[in-house]
Amino acid sequence: MSKIAIFYGPLGGAVNRVADKIKDIIGDDKVEMVAVKDATVTDLEKFDKIIFGASTVGNDTWDSEFSNNDWAKFLPEIEKTDFAAKKVAIFGLGDHVTYSHGFVDHIGLVGKKLMANGAVLIGPVSTDGYEFDESEAVIDGMFIGLPIDEDFEPELTDERVAGWMEILKPDFGF
């Protein structure tokens, strides 16, 4: 059985902690953690099952020509990769209080780039139980990945991650 890759960024902080929770549920021996900071197309092509984890930043930050953000550097690698034959899921950290009008927009940004390159995203999440005004991550009334708010709802993280892992389990085979 091939390993499941968790591509995440940035190193340290909340995204890293949630990626570690996901790794622990799947099983350390079944996961390879890959920081997006220096990841390339070659890294992406090695895996048939990939979970992406992104930080709380918006489209305006990632589109900046001079951004030093890990994900801004990694997005072009996603655009060069064919995801049609891969199992792909995404989670993202957001702040539903301060950024209610752009809650976890980065899930939508990354997810749309993945879908444009053939990915069928696994693991949609109901918007029920989340308070926000708008989100680029909502398509057809569902989040296209798992939103986590470690700033204002850290007590819900373990439950949300565990529920999402149950959704992914049949396709990811862990």
Q: What is the mean pLDDT of residues 123-146?
A: 96
Mean pLDDT of 92-114: 92
Tell whether the model's pLDDT for residue 63 goes beyond 80.
no
CA distance 46 to 77: 13
Q: What mean pLDDT is predicted for residues 83-110?
A: 93
- Of 70, 9, 3, 74, the C-alpha closest to 32 is 3
Enter the CATH code of domain 4-172: 3.40.50.360
Predicted confidence at residue 61, as pLDDT, reads 47
Read off the pTM: 0.92
Q: pLDDT at position 57, please?
A: 57
pLDDT at 62 > cutoff 80: no
Query: CA-to-CA distance for 150 and 155, rounded, in angstroms?
Result: 8
